[in-house]
Structure 1
């Protein structure tokens, strides 16, 4: 039994069918129909089943199972909205602010290396903060916990602010604050992100206590920001394959975007556009 509504299977099957028509795939040349392929993909997302065993259960080879799952990830990730469009919709829907946050999505160790700011050779996908290998994913959430947009994967050794800047997330949030009157709340790691991105005031380096005004603002920001930071928990709680992936870390962004689209369908967040 798979605890996924039948309508979601039909929806994904429709996307896969459109993809096959676009590629010019002839009828009855695939090992699985669109419905069975959609079901297999959803099982992989929902239960994180071993791909070889999953393929055997559907009567296909391991290589074919990998190819079908990759195709499903690509089709779903292609539905990811543009960040500016997502922010416009949030403003139109009447939200007073959004939350920007980053998370390290765990993956197998990668042999890719890079040079640190100190000139040392380090593992590109290793996060010293989390002491684990993975990809840094930036996401924008509403205050009801729902993520509305997720970025491409960035190497785990990078800080949240660096990733957000390189992906132009901070620029889009600065624009939203100025043009849409939609500020963003963030943790202290985004300090200096620019106009409209509100971060808490750090403790003074000399050990002195923060002014009462700053402590009040920090408490207010924490009380508002936590509601949106649960957005990552919604994704990893519902789609178990996000808890640990064995694919290339650079593909994690597409997997998260695919899971995000499935979540939007589940929460009927696509109703206004589909």
Structure 2
């Protein structure tokens, strides 16, 4: 079950208990035909594997609309219930050395949202910033912003740059000008010197940890392959997956 949903049966049972307690206040989100446990499993499977809803419907012998209603109801509920597990910008310890990088969470090319197109990635999606420690532990993930925004803008939006000393942080060339340690750019009038090339090589070896951390986050395939549900639900889905990531690691 872990490889399908990203959580052990025990963690799923704990999550079901939280959802059931929430339902006592009149805000339940599961369908009787599936039951609470299966509704949660269906939602987690969709987020973890990004399976087509019609395929899930066939697996659980229900209609596609039933699967859709379960996902639509439970995704925002999971995001809200597990939000306390997500580190906020206020909790970010800027005095610790971090490695930062941005990543694009892809989605369909919605005609009404041209701001989602990223010239860097040549596709559409939402940009999130990830900061991890030198041992690869993710310490903070930003809120999603449209894909056309630059990494520097996305990193500065919650103002974590003022949370400590960015001079201790490491990033790629997209963060030049933010006092973060970045690779040396090639000057227009000469080639890089040998020591500059070596500096960049060693820096990129350190930056590998954040790239690996982002790859671990994108094991939740809904963040790695095109998002197919209405774009208005994408932010909530991203929040739910980020909350599940930290919940699973707790």
Taking structure 1 as the reference length, the TM-score comes to 0.75
Alignment-derived partner of residue 172 in structure 1: 160
- The answer to whether structure 1 residue 62 and structure 2 residue 64 are counterparts is yes
After superposition, give the CA deviation of every residue in 1:187-244 in whole Å (9 maximum; x if it has no partner).
11011124xx3222212122343483x55543442222211221111122x3222222
* Residues 46-85 of structure 1: pairs in structure 2 closer than 5 A: 46-78=48-80, 79=83, 80-85=86-91
Alignment-derived partner of residue 244 in structure 2: 262
Query: How far, CA to CA, are the matches of 1:110 and 1:224 in structure 2?
Result: 36
Query: How far, CA to CA, are the matches of 2:169 and 2:73 in structure 1?
Result: 34
Instruction: Work out whether residues 16 and 38 of structure 1, in 8 Å CA contact, stay in contact via their aligned partners in 2.
Output: no
CA-CA distance at 1:2 after TM superposition: 5.7
Alignment-derived partner of residue 200 in structure 2: 218
Query: How far, CA to CA, are the matches of 1:250 and 1:200 in structure 2?
Result: 37
Instruction: Summarize the Cα distance change of 1:164–1:29 in structure 2 as closer, same or farther, 3 Å threshold.
Output: closer
Alignment-derived partner of residue 240 in structure 1: 221
CA-CA distance at 1:83 after TM superposition: 2.2
Instruction: Work out whether residues 101 and 171 of structure 2, in 8 Å CA contact, stay in contact via their aligned partners in 1.
Output: yes
SS of structure 2 residue aligned to 1:224: helix
- The answer to whether structure 1 residue 127 and structure 2 residue 130 are counterparts is no
Instruction: Work out whether residues 153 and 250 of structure 1, in 8 Å CA contact, stay in contact via their aligned partners in 2.
Output: no
* Residues 82-161 of structure 1: pairs in structure 2 closer than 5 A: 82-85=88-91, 87-88=92-93, 96-113=96-113, 123-161=114-152
Query: How far, CA to CA, are the matches of 2:145 and 2:203 in structure 1?
Result: 27
Instruction: Work out whether residues 31 and 70 of structure 2, in 8 Å CA contact, stay in contact via their aligned partners in 1.
Output: no
Query: How far, CA to CA, are the matches of 1:61 and 1:249 in structure 2?
Result: 23
After superposition, give the CA deviation of every residue in 1:46-96 in whole Å (9 maximum; x if it has no partner).
3222113324543544334223213333233331331222x24x86xxxx4
Alignment-derived partner of residue 8 in structure 2: 5
Instruction: Work out whether residues 99 and 229 of structure 1, in 8 Å CA contact, stay in contact via their aligned partners in 2.
Output: no
Instruction: Summarize the Cα distance change of 1:224–1:74 in structure 2 as closer, same or farther, 3 Å threshold.
Output: same
Tell me the number of residue pairs that the alignment of Structure 1 and Structure 2 aligns: 242
SS of structure 2 residue aligned to 1:109: coil
- For the aligned residue pairs, the C-alpha RMSD in angstroms reads 3.0
Instruction: Work out whether residues 223 and 238 of structure 2, in 8 Å CA contact, stay in contact via their aligned partners in 1.
Output: yes
Query: How far, CA to CA, are the matches of 2:31 and 2:240 in structure 1?
Result: 26
SS of structure 2 residue aligned to 1:198: coil
Instruction: Summarize the Cα distance change of 1:253–1:24 in structure 2 as closer, same or farther, 3 Å threshold.
Output: closer
After superposition, give the CA deviation of every residue in 1:154-202 in whole Å (9 maximum; x if it has no partner).
222222112223x32xx21331328xxx9321111011124xx322221
SS of structure 1 residue aligned to 2:47: helix
Q: Which one of 186, 189, 194 corresponds to residue 206 of structure 1?
A: 189
Unaligned ranges ≥5, structure 1: 114-122
Instruction: Work out whether residues 153 and 251 of structure 1, in 8 Å CA contact, stay in contact via their aligned partners in 2.
Output: no
Unaligned ranges ≥5, structure 2: none
Taking structure 2 as the reference length, the TM-score comes to 0.81
